[in-house]
Structure 1
Amino acid sequence: MVNKINELCEKYYDKIVKIRHQLHMYPEVGYEEFNTSKLVCNELKNLNLEVKTNVAKTGVIALLKGKYPGKTILLRADMDALRVNEETNLKFKSKIPGVMHACGHDGHTASLLGAAMILSELKDDLHGNIKFMFQPDEEIEGGAKPMIDEGILENPHVDAAFGGHLWGEVKEGMVGIKHGPMMASPDIFNIKIIGEGGHGGVPQNSIDPIPILSQVINTFQTIVSRKNNPLNPLVSSCCHVKAGNTDCHNAIPTEAILGGTVRTFDEKTRTWAEKTIEDILNGITTSQGATYEYEYIKQFPPLINDFSMTDLVMSSLKKIVGEENVFELNEPSMGGEDFAYLAKEVPASFVFVGIAEDENHPVVHHNSKFQWDDRNMKVLCKALCQVSIDYLNS
């Protein structure tokens, strides 16, 4: 089967590249992937698969039935681009001003379509089914959850899920895996300190929200350094502040605004961080005679890879890239990934497929100059195929 996958990957490689270039030239942001999903749908229908469109607005799900009965595995790709203006010299650079595939989702979509082409030719060897999931809006709201809510894990029931990300911190030809926690929950907090505005020359007649906000920010630093167990991963970052009018230098503002992110790997720490932030906020504002508004937005859950599924994935990937090129990541990533919603529902595993030319020159995601070589899709495409076959036929 390894040889068959390799042969079929070469057979379809030019088509996979062509699809990736098409997607890259015409990127679409979350929940606006209308042309992308149309292209995906057409390719899947050409394979005579059962296809359902308009799932969670622009999502696509397809079903491949193997010759023999068995379990069902789901393979996932994300389709959305970013609001980034491309500054590369690629011949297939984005033709849409201000929108770019700056995270590799064009490669994810093209690779999964390639896997569908390969696996369709191997269906007579399959014991079970494969669902191909093309989801919208991974970058912002997380299109995986509404697709799950619309029932994609049933009819037939999904027993396991697998996905991968083209990753700029891993060398080309290598694949990073992780048992257990893989990526963090990327939560958001928004805070408004409400004081009383006044004249800058007589501050005693106002309640200045700016020094109050400064005290809040400084105290927040103790959440990680003094309140959290240092062996428990936690990030709390204040990322934007706003107060006053830059055209007025003698008016104390009424409000000051702060926003940031909290990253954790388990629900207990996540809930604790949310409460601790408000405890600090309440204590400081009360002592200064101010009030506050606080919003904590729980984004994707932490991505936790299933141990047994990851063992299987490791074995499968060694067949694709060689034993020496599959490695356990030293540490999880503090980035977020909404594949986590799938991993909460069924045994799942997510991997990083390398796109960096070498260890000293990582490819920076979400950057206007983000680019990588098409050949790396071969690894992702073949990995999707091999994992599916090994899972279903084991």
Structure 2
Amino acid sequence: MEIQAIVEEIQEEMIGIRRHIHTHPELSHEEYETTKFVKEQLKDTSIEWQELGLDTGAIGLMHGKAGEGPVLMLRADLDALPLMEESGVDFASEKPNVMHACGHDIHTTVLIGAAKVLERTRDEWKGTIKFVFQPSEEKAGGATELIEAGVLENPKPDHAVCLHTWPSTDAGKIGIRPGPMTAANDTFEVKVKGTGGHGAHPEKAVDPVPVAGDVVDLFQRIISRNLSPFDPAVITAGQIDGGTANNVIATDVKVSGTVRTLSHVTRDYIKKRMKEIAHHVAAASNAEAEVEFKGAGCPPVINDPHLTGQLEQSLKKHLGKENIDFLKEPSTGSEDFAYYLEQIPGMLFRLGTRNDEDSRTHLSLHNPGIVFDERAIPTGIIAMSGFAMDYLNGVQ
């Protein structure tokens, strides 16, 4: 049976599944009911669920009947955001301050739908599919916890693939690009230490406030003067904390923010330069400064060019070239799918959710008023299942 025919048959069911998940969102590491719901929807398939010892999330294997072949990992994320929904849809979240504003309800639905399609076409493909319904993408930690628990073992996937909703691309279309797709995300904190004193006598103190300002200003010159204009990056100081009164020179100031980069080389270089600048700028004013990066940060998603080329050919076959959006630039948002790609090659593609007739679909991800055009659901299922079959069967 053709993929499109199966998707047309299950389309209304899939929309109902999506609306159920949207109405009953769960925060990171709390996706208990969502996990149960996913398994319930797939109870009639041949998926073999694997226990990795985690409280939420679901990992399952499905084997094709056409023979031995590669292992492909398909991943969706389950968690919602701590937002009060303002979309106005009649299936809005029933939980105060919890909303699927990043499209994870659609991601989960598409992967459920792809599993249903692939189950009904098992005679036509070979190899193994590892379905990964991942918890805690928004709060970070979900991907790394799964990796530590062994998600990339028994069996090890040859490639990993996921999709993400995208309000800049029309519903019914898929956005693709080789190379960088999302940015690395690093959180920094600069601690500037002076000596403090009376605001009327600055000459008797070392004021850390102007030093902190100089440090932030010179951070921006890394972008404009140390990097190529063809190697974009972002350094944003989002928070400054210092001082206790308007007539007291502070003893210390803290500046924190985010760094977004699209390559490992640039990421390491910016970290090095930030530390150098903070140290030398502070020393020039007889102050001290150090830069600390919180945690390991999230690496960039860098799509495998060959795999992206395979996806392009598959999309032309199943959806038509007119429904491919060739993305000109990556996003400086981050996505913890990148942790899997540190271990195995793979790619992330965009699922268009925009409708020109509904301005709510134009809003950015994480906006409490955003609406996702549900025409994206069958498109995503066709794209995901069609690519999986072509990949596993070695179709170039």
Residue 154 of structure 1 corresponds to which residue in structure 2? 153
Counterparts in 2 of 1:81 and 1:386: CA distance versus 1, 3 Å: same
Alignment of 1:1-394 (within 5 A): 4-53=2-51, 56-67=54-65, 68-245=67-244, 248-297=245-294, 298-358=296-356, 362-394=362-394
Assess if the C-alpha contact under 8 Å between 1:44 and 1:62 holds in 2: no
Cα deviation for residue 293 of structure 1 reads 4.1
Counterparts in 2 of 1:373 and 1:359: CA distance versus 1, 3 Å: closer
1:40, 1:197 → 2: CA distance? 58
Cα deviation for residue 346 of structure 1 reads 2.4
Cα deviation for residue 193 of structure 1 reads 1.5
Cα deviation for residue 149 of structure 1 reads 2.4
Q: Secondary structure at the match of 2:127?
A: strand
1:332, 1:209 → 2: CA distance? 37
Measured against aligned partners, the alpha-carbon deviations of 1:198-240 in whole angstroms (never above 9, x if no partner) come to 3222223332221111111111111111122222222222122
Counterparts in 2 of 1:24 and 1:53: CA distance versus 1, 3 Å: farther
Counterparts in 2 of 1:360 and 1:222: CA distance versus 1, 3 Å: farther
Measured against aligned partners, the alpha-carbon deviations of 1:20-69 in whole angstroms (never above 9, x if no partner) come to 11221221222121221121222233324111356554221011111122
Cα deviation for residue 249 of structure 1 reads 2.4
* One-letter amino acid matched to 1:47: T
| Sequence identity percentage | 39
Counterparts in 2 of 1:155 and 1:222: CA distance versus 1, 3 Å: same
1:371, 1:53 → 2: CA distance? 34
2:341, 2:186 → 1: CA distance? 18
Counterparts in 2 of 1:283 and 1:360: CA distance versus 1, 3 Å: farther
Q: Secondary structure at the match of 1:58?
A: coil
2:77, 2:297 → 1: CA distance? 17
1:387, 1:160 → 2: CA distance? 12
1:200, 1:96 → 2: CA distance? 50
Assess if the C-alpha contact under 8 Å between 1:55 and 1:61 holds in 2: no
The two structures, once aligned, show a CA RMSD in angstroms of: 1.9
Q: Secondary structure at the match of 1:37?
A: helix
* One-letter amino acid matched to 2:113: G
Assess if the C-alpha contact under 8 Å between 2:274 and 2:291 holds in 1: no
Cα deviation for residue 154 of structure 1 reads 2.2
Counterparts in 2 of 1:72 and 1:187: CA distance versus 1, 3 Å: same
* One-letter amino acid matched to 1:343: L
Measured against aligned partners, the alpha-carbon deviations of 1:362-387 in whole angstroms (never above 9, x if no partner) come to 33111010111222111111111001
Q: Secondary structure at the match of 1:69?
A: coil
Which stretch has the larger CA shift, 269-278 or 25-34? 25-34
Cα deviation for residue 142 of structure 1 reads 4.1
1:183, 1:38 → 2: CA distance? 30
Counterparts in 2 of 1:196 and 1:41: CA distance versus 1, 3 Å: farther
1:360, 1:229 → 2: CA distance? 39
Q: Secondary structure at the match of 1:242?
A: strand
TM-score of the superposition, structure 2-length normalised?
A: 0.93
1:62, 1:35 → 2: CA distance? 17
Cα deviation for residue 258 of structure 1 reads 1.0
Measured against aligned partners, the alpha-carbon deviations of 1:254-276 in whole angstroms (never above 9, x if no partner) come to 22121111121221111111110
Assess if the C-alpha contact under 8 Å between 1:37 and 1:60 holds in 2: yes
Which stretch has the larger CA shift, 227-236 or 271-280? 227-236
Measured against aligned partners, the alpha-carbon deviations of 1:102-153 in whole angstroms (never above 9, x if no partner) come to 1100100111111111111111222111111111121232422221222222
1:315, 1:382 → 2: CA distance? 13
1:75, 1:166 → 2: CA distance? 15
Counterparts in 2 of 1:10 and 1:53: CA distance versus 1, 3 Å: farther
Q: Secondary structure at the match of 2:69?
A: strand
Q: Secondary structure at the match of 2:282?
A: helix
2:215, 2:182 → 1: CA distance? 28
Which stretch has the larger CA shift, 139-148 or 87-96? 139-148
